Amino acid sequence: MTDSLFPPLVLLVREAWGEALPEWVEAMAYECAKSSQNRVAAQLGRSAALVSQVLRRKYTGDLLAVEDLFNGVFRGDRVQCPALGLLPLNECRDWRVKARKFVNVNTLRVQMYRACGQCPKNHKVSEND
């Protein structure tokens, strides 16, 4: 395929990432090209600046966290939660982040604190989320 068949944003992302371009980042670029970086960011619950930095390979935070968000929101990736059943990947990550600290505000929060503490997936969440 020639370069003229790709949206300009996708070409920019390919240039920024080179051979190291993760497939999900390219997919994010296509989503942004279809709508806008602001809309993609809003759907992810993050800032447009974060999306821009990821696309341009300038994001210094946890890319795995952004990948989980993207895959949960845009691809419908799910995980089997021992407490809540089938759960979108981005919601799983949100619960894992909340479960780092015990907060007794409601029974669900306590339940998830216990469940996430025992879940092997929880140990993959970095401190940079």
What's the Cα-to-Cα distance from 110 to each of 5, 85, 104, 129, rounded to whole Å?
Answer: 51, 16, 6, 21
Return d(Cα 63, Cα 76) in angstroms, integer: 18
Q: pLDDT digit string (tens) for 96-113? A: 999 988 988 899 999 999
- Our CA angle for 8, 67, 14, nearest 5°, is 25
User: Which of 114, 104, 106, 105 is closest to 83 using CA atoms?
Assistant: 114
pLDDT at 76 exceeding the cut of 90: yes
Q: Where are the domains of the chain?
A: 3-60, 78-124
Q: pTM value?
A: 0.82
